[in-house]
Amino acid sequence: KPALAYLDVITRARQAFDFPIAAYNVSGEYGMVLAAAEKGWVDKETAMFEVLTSIKRAGADMILTYFAKEAAEILG
């Protein structure tokens, strides 16, 4: 399932279970950020980190994302 549409479910799972939680930032969510950045509506890096931060704050221990390589390069 797309992580952004299920942040509430991730939060509830975090509260209910003491297991690692993985979230998948699906290609459509990735594409949405890229398209908005190409049109100049958002800054790509800012939007990328906003998406990833929201998933982490919801309770995910790990995030599978198409932004992985770019985020890793920026974060060092």
* 24 vs 40: CA distance, rounded Å: 26
Per-residue pLDDT, 19: 97
Stated pTM of the model: 0.93
Side-chain-side CA neighbours of residue 35 (13 Å): 6
**What is the per-residue pLDDT across 6-58, written as a single tens digit (0 to 9) for each?**
999 999 999 999 999 999 999 999 999 999 999 999 999 999 999 999 999 99
Per-residue pLDDT, 12: 98
* 58 vs 54: CA distance, rounded Å: 6
Containing structural domain, residue 67: 4-12+20-75
- Looking at the structure of the chain, the number of domains it has is 1
pLDDT of 1 higher than 90: no
